[in-house]
Structure 1
Amino acid sequence: MDLSTNTEVAFEDSLWADPEYVEAYWQTFLADLERRGIPGEDVDGEFAETMPFDPIEQAVALARQARSLSSRTDAAFAAVLADAARSPEQWVGPDPTLDPLWRDPSGLSNAAVRARRRDLAVRSAALDLGARTQLSDLQVRSRAHKAKTLEERCPRLWRAAVDGAISEQNVAAAAHAADTLPADARDAWERFDEVAADAAQRLAPGRFRQRVRTIRDRAHPESREERHARAAADRDVRFHGDDDGMVCVTAFIPASFGRLAEERLDATARHLASQTDETRTTAQLRADVFCDLLVHGGSDQVPTERDEPAFPAATVTTTVHLTIPVLTLLGAGDAPATLDGYGPIDQDTARTLAAGASEWYRVLTDPVRGTVLDVERRAYRVPRALRRWLTARHPYCLAPGCTRPSRLCDIDHRIRWADGGATAASNLGPLCERHHSVKDGTPWAMNRDDEGRLSWTSPTGFELDADPPPF
């Protein structure tokens, strides 16, 4: 749309034809006048229906409305989880500790049982909300925690967020910073909120992230040395699958090590770039140096351009699960191979990995649906073969939205062993520890129909099919 020549939006073809939207826009307009000290009593009440609607104004109003709705959604999530903690009966069933003769089979005290019930109720409610809104339960809990943190510690900033005056990125950055302030440092909360509320409304996300670190640093009552020691205990490295056979690696490490690592990558990349026949970009060189240093353990080998990844014959022994159609392996088909914990990868990489495999297991799949039909059981112990079958059929935890690889999960009895459930493929499935405890400790139920399709029923009666495999 050419904003220089078309400054009005046709009323019949826009959101302005919606009376509810017009009213919401009008109220936002009046609130903005009030914030700027402009009296709105004398403004014509028909203004919202007769004013020329500039498309820029429309875009700004929509952005503000979306921001407000996002924060209000976070608050609604927080309210549901808080209610679940206060009244867990709907999510975990009747409280057995109310019976004076009841004793926990595992020996827990009544107080410990009640605390566990509250925890399971919150987990169960988050899983239910996530299933209904196509989010994971962790995302629901994260958004609820963000709202709770800001409402409690940063009331000025939170009011502006609910009003739509702060971008979602700045809301998240402010919540993260406020959450790291001590739980009993209300003076620090006040100092942080006083400065951050204004900055969050004025600055773009990149600038605000820089500014909020300084605001938090000045408001924090503890020394930098104490904070660094505590933060260093949470150091971690994570791998996030990306598109087209790539992965993103993030490391949460002390800044000094990060800076030294960056300098080593840069120095080695500059050295390689100076070679006569080097054609790779600086970014590609940094990535190749990073991989070679990590995979080869810091050997003196100079990384070179290669079309296929190099895998050392010695050093570290690892196990990688790769599902590859036999026709693809033989070069007679184009169906993608699946790398466990990631997803589809290109055929050349799959064949390179397959060439170094020391052991193979035949898996028969339906050529149309991709469903695992059978698996060769050459291992002596039956549980090991069953696990291999189940992890091939279900690459991830079966709970709604969970992406925990099945190789890291428990193998759960859908119908409990104590209730007569069989140790058979039709009654088994991978569940991560978090969701295993929710299934066993709440009314969440996993169902299986006559054709083997799995589904879930939440304590509120919400039903949904189990997530399909990624291949």
Structure 2
Amino acid sequence: MDTSVPLADRPSPAPRSWDGVPWPADDELDDEVAWARLLDLGAASHRHDAFSADDVFSSVHVRPEGAAADGEAADDDATDDDAATASASDLDAILGHLELIAAERHRLAAEEGRLIATVLRDAAADPTPWVGPDPTLDYTWSDARGRTAGAVRRDRVDLAQRAAAAEMAVRLRLSEQTVRTRATHVEALRERCPRLWDAFAAGRTSERHAVEAARLATSLPHDETAWRAFDDGAAETAMRLTPTKFAVAARAVRERVHAESIDARHRRAARDRGVWMAPELDGMASLTAFLPAERARSIMTRLDGAARHLHAAPDEERTLAQLRADVLADLVTVSSADLAATGRSDAPVPKGEGTPRAETTPRGDSASRVGAAPTSTTTRTHAASPTVVVTVPALTLLGADDRPAILDGYGPIDLDTARRLAGEASSWVRLLTHPVTGAPLVLDRQTYRVPTALRRWLGVTSPTCVFPGCNRLARDCDLDHLSAWADGGSTDADNLAPECRHHHRLRHETRWTPTHDPVTGDLQWTSPLGGTYDTDPPPF
């Protein structure tokens, strides 16, 4: 016999005596139980790494469709309704847990940045753990380079922060620039955007919001009124908009509060113009140019016009995107002789890859040659064709092996391109190796100056700076004697290592110390705090 009271006839829940709030209804209590169960499972996941959405579903007992409980008749409609209600409740609980995880991730990102900034701030306050005792405190001190005591102390602070950033970078597997940038962002937010920093530190907004706000706040002049106005506008929108929309809104706020004219800002920003290349997959690369907007727009207009002109040809199969890329490559690399062959300097390129090749000048899309000496080429203004180094195994050139060739500064390239570049090379550099092991023979030089051939070889064996995590190409580095020349160290491949100027200074002016094993050739770095770190393995 069913003695349950119909819902419409049930009395309203009585209010609680202490706060006047009605007692929760049964379905509300069920939701609270499910949420408590979810939180308990979440805590267990931290202990056992075993939490998943399946745990939540398995914790809620929903009868399969059409199944009846003991002592009850099957009621399909009621079962469907119960299952739908339970499923919605479970999904809501999972999404609630997801929100908690996201907030915690944001909070931890803020805490990571705060700790990085604290370490760098402490290094500036007390450089001694990183660079050693202050020599200027000795009354007999005199600087061998003629610096004043104030200059030496400023250098100590700078080097201590560099050494501390390097220590954190190798521990966190980050670049030093990333470490210093995170510290800069934290300092900018705490000083200029305290409201937004509090929201980030509490996990109420994401790291992307915080980074964009810090970048914009850093660009504002030293004006606390402007900082406060930017913070008010940015903090309000950061907790409501996605990062992309927030970036647009925050830039608009910056423009409103910035006291300096846009003309002055544009002139200053134009000093940062530049071009960068980033390797991509499958023998491709991206080329990025940072230019004044009107020049970038002009370039795109010209590329698009030439591409559309070519695209109208009846036998043209390339897409507009491919044509823009080909036109750009030819406009940059084609020689004046090639341009003359087309009839005029701004003529669009014919179908295919690149313009016709003149006999005396390398073609624009194949000007990179193995060991080639620079030649004079022009694209309206005179420029030198760059020397590009490609390392190709001899058996690969002969077709007896498929080991990839290595393009200096990029990485593996396809074999057809490597063979073509090798065939077009005007000169070769032979590297003598051991006939059995294949190891390069040591080139011992009894002079301090590093010969060109030895420098070239070291660029092959150590393509980047030997400090852990540094990507500066060897050709842009100093060649450091691991055993000092003054202490009897020789100028040979076993005693030289490429170090960028920054890490070269860290090696000689801080407590970062390299240790070289003369038997195995392994190089290891010891940090000011005593940690030891191996150099990175060769990238290719």
Residue 464 of structure 1: which of 523, 533, 540 is its match? 533
Displacement of 1:372 after TM fit? 5.1
Displacement of 1:300 after TM fit? 2.8
Displacement of 1:438 after TM fit? 0.9
- Tell me which residue corresponds to 2:366: 311
Displacement of 1:234 after TM fit? 1.3
Residues 272-421 of structure 1: matches in 2 within 5 Å? 272-296=310-334, 300=347, 302-306=349-353, 310-311=365-366, 315=377, 316-363=384-431, 373-374=440-441, 383-421=451-489
C-alpha contact 2:333 2:364 (8 A) present in aligned 1: no
Distance in 1 separating the partners of 2:215 and 2:439: 43
Displacement of 1:314 after TM fit? 5.6
In structure 1, stretches of 5+ residues that fail to align are 1-6, 22-50
C-alpha contact 1:361 1:375 (8 A) present in aligned 2: no
Distance in 2 separating the partners of 1:324 and 1:287: 27
Q: Does 1:86 align with 2:141?
A: no
Q: Does 1:15 align with 2:69?
A: no
Residue 252 of structure 1: which of 259, 280, 290 is its match? 290
Residues 175-324 of structure 1: matches in 2 within 5 Å? 175-182=214-221, 184-296=222-334, 300=347, 302-306=349-353, 310-311=365-366, 315=377, 316-324=384-392
Displacement of 1:15 after TM fit? 3.2
Distance in 2 separating the partners of 1:217 and 1:366: 65
Displacement of 1:235 after TM fit? 1.0
Instruction: Provide the identity percentage.
Output: 46
C-alpha contact 2:392 2:406 (8 A) present in aligned 1: yes
TM-score (norm 1): 0.85
TM-score (norm 2): 0.75
Distance in 1 separating the partners of 2:126 and 2:483: 27
Do the aligned partners of residues 419 and 212 (structure 1) sit closer, same or farther apart at CA in structure 2, a change above 3 Å counting? farther
Residues 35-184 of structure 1: matches in 2 within 5 Å? 54-182=93-221, 184=222
Displacement of 1:309 after TM fit? 7.6
CA radius of gyration, larger in: 2
RMSD over aligned Cα atoms: 2.9
C-alpha contact 1:64 1:165 (8 A) present in aligned 2: yes
One-letter code aligned to 1:148 = E
Displacement of 1:18 after TM fit? 4.5
One-letter code aligned to 1:466 = T
One-letter code aligned to 1:470 = P
Displacement of 1:409 after TM fit? 0.7
C-alpha contact 1:265 1:290 (8 A) present in aligned 2: yes
Do the aligned partners of residues 20 and 180 (structure 1) sit closer, same or farther apart at CA in structure 2, a change above 3 Å counting? farther
Distance in 2 separating the partners of 1:448 and 1:299: 55
Do the aligned partners of residues 303 and 169 (structure 1) sit closer, same or farther apart at CA in structure 2, a change above 3 Å counting? farther
Distance in 1 separating the partners of 2:306 and 2:212: 34
Do the aligned partners of residues 463 and 366 (structure 1) sit closer, same or farther apart at CA in structure 2, a change above 3 Å counting? farther
| Bigger shift: residues 92-101 or 287-296 | 287-296
Corresponding residue SS for 1:430: strand
Distance in 2 separating the partners of 1:257 and 1:103: 53
Do the aligned partners of residues 332 and 119 (structure 1) sit closer, same or farther apart at CA in structure 2, a change above 3 Å counting? same
Corresponding residue SS for 1:202: coil
Residues 320-349 of structure 1: per-residue CA shift (max 9 Å, x gap): 111111111222211111111111111112
Corresponding residue SS for 1:310: helix
C-alpha contact 2:330 2:364 (8 A) present in aligned 1: no
In structure 2, stretches of 5+ residues that fail to align are 1-33, 49-88, 336-344, 355-362, 368-374, 378-383
Distance in 2 separating the partners of 1:19 and 1:262: 52
Residues paired across the two proteins, number: 434
Do the aligned partners of residues 426 and 195 (structure 1) sit closer, same or farther apart at CA in structure 2, a change above 3 Å counting? same
- Tell me which residue corresponds to 2:72: none
Do the aligned partners of residues 367 and 180 (structure 1) sit closer, same or farther apart at CA in structure 2, a change above 3 Å counting? farther
Residue 433 of structure 1: which of 492, 497, 501 is its match? 501
- Provide runs of 4+ in structure 1 moved above 4 Å: 7-14, 18-21, 364-369
C-alpha contact 1:136 1:400 (8 A) present in aligned 2: no
- Tell me which residue corresponds to 1:48: none
| Bigger shift: residues 309-318 or 200-209 | 309-318
Distance in 1 separating the partners of 2:199 and 2:422: 55
